[in-house]
Structure 1
Amino acid sequence: MTATPYLRPNTGENSLKGAFDSLIATHINQIGPSMLVQVETVEAGGASITGKVTVRPMVQQQDALSRARPHDLIHNVPYLRLQGGTSALIIDPKPGDIGFIIISGRDHTHAVTTRKPSPPASFRQFSMQDCVYVGGFLNNGPDQFIQATDAGWRIVTPGTVSIEASEITANCDIVTSGDVRAGGISLKQHTHGGVQAGTGRSSPP
């Protein structure tokens, strides 16, 4: 007989081995596995505390007759933000993103709520309610991105780049096809007053 991955194997439940196999399989099935999920909604707080998502497991359940049964939505799932101390790269998930959930071994509700070491909130173990979201996988190509290439770093955005800093220091030449403005003065369009006509040139800055 050719085995099929879509049907449960015959464990021979009438034998002692079959009974043990069935008991072990029952315990394994009660462990919530890490799995692919799709983001349904996002509660993001901008630059404040990391938000949470509601996700839908993408791999459905099956009954004994191999009929598909969708999972329930999983709510209030903390998501990953690349952060160290007070420095972070903030890219919040969006509805439709595909990612992975990693499931805790114990009920982590208190730890998530207080953000401090805490005892488990219940005797619940390996439950999909106790998970975090890591994305994204299998998503479409982005419209804006930062890309590392062999030639250097590439920044692409259809919008504007806004930098808020006390000072910017660049140890390199800066080349632009557009204009540069400082204090409202255009590098291309500014004029000098108090000059006389002639062939003389002003000195470099």
Structure 2
Amino acid sequence: MTENTNAPYWDRSSPDLDIATIMDRRVQDHIRKIGPSMLVQVKAVKAGAASITGMVDVQPMVHQQDKQGKPHPRQMIHNVPYLRIQGGTSALIIDPKPGDIGFIIISGRDHTHAITTRQPSPPASFRQFAMQDCVYVGGFLNNGPDQFIQATDQGWRIVTPGTVSIEAAKVTANCDIETSGDVKAGGVSLKQHVHGWARCSTAPGRHCICP
């Protein structure tokens, strides 16, 4: 065996290497070709509102590196299914946003048919451990949110700069309700409606009557 002087000094073959060491290097070369799960950044979101879970385009954040140590950015991965916390017809819908940082998990085989049909399917090709066959899980390393639901030692905390909208057949609360704002029922304000104070003052014990 002759020494390969064109390779970096740490990767040159040596006539003193035994067959086991050579095989180990070959195995390591194949392992390096397996698509790794890694941090990615969301570049585009194709969300379906409350319908079927959407897809994201993501950019891997960890570059490839050649034998000289030179980094090479990876290509963007398109149409990656993202995680939605769901059981049956109940779900917590928080779609990713461009700029989010998350993680991709690589499938062992080409899962294109399974994604397209949402049914158990054979592999779409002989491709294995490819980065195209991944799913997105978020988020990691992101900035603090402007709206959130937080569990504290005192209870649940809901914060939003917008409006909390509840669409339900009925809301039942087994607790005291306090608010610094107003409460309206049937268009009538609890804070601003006018009582019939004259009738109350002339007829003690009777309830106030709103006009």
> Normalised by the size of structure 1, how large is the TM-score?
0.91
One-letter code of the match for 1:191?
Answer: V
SS of equivalent residue, structure 1 residue 198: helix
TM-superposed CA distance for 1:66, in Å, is: 0.7
- Once residues 177 and 171 of structure 1 are traced to their aligned partners in structure 2, the CA distance between those partners, rounded to angstroms, is 20
The answer to whether the aligner puts 1:108 opposite 2:115 as a matched pair is no
> Which residues of 2 match residues 91-170 of structure 1 at below 5 A?
91-170=94-173
> Which residues of 2 match residues 72-83 of structure 1 at below 5 A?
72-83=75-86
Residues 26-60 of structure 1: CA distance to partner in whole angstroms, max 9, x if unpaired? Answer: 21012111000000100001101000000010000
SS of equivalent residue, structure 2 residue 79: strand
Which structure 1 residue ranges, 5 or more long, are not aligned?
1-6
> Normalised by the size of structure 2, how large is the TM-score?
0.88
Q: If you compute each CA radius of gyration, which structure gives the higher value, 1 or 2?
A: 2
The answer to whether the aligner puts 1:69 opposite 2:51 as a matched pair is no
- Aligned residues of 1:99 and 1:133 also touching (Cα < 8 A): yes
RMSD: 2.1
**2:52 alignment counterpart:** 49
TM-superposed CA distance for 1:190, in Å, is: 1.6
Across the two proteins, how many residue pairs are aligned to each other? 199
- Paired-residue identity, %: 69
- Aligned residues of 1:11 and 1:18 also touching (Cα < 8 A): no
TM-superposed CA distance for 1:22, in Å, is: 1.8
Which structure 2 residue ranges, 5 or more long, are not aligned?
1-7
Larger displacement relative to structure 2 (170-179 or 188-197): 188-197
SS of equivalent residue, structure 2 residue 86: strand
Pair 203,127 (structure 1): closer, same or farther in 2 beyond 3 Å: same
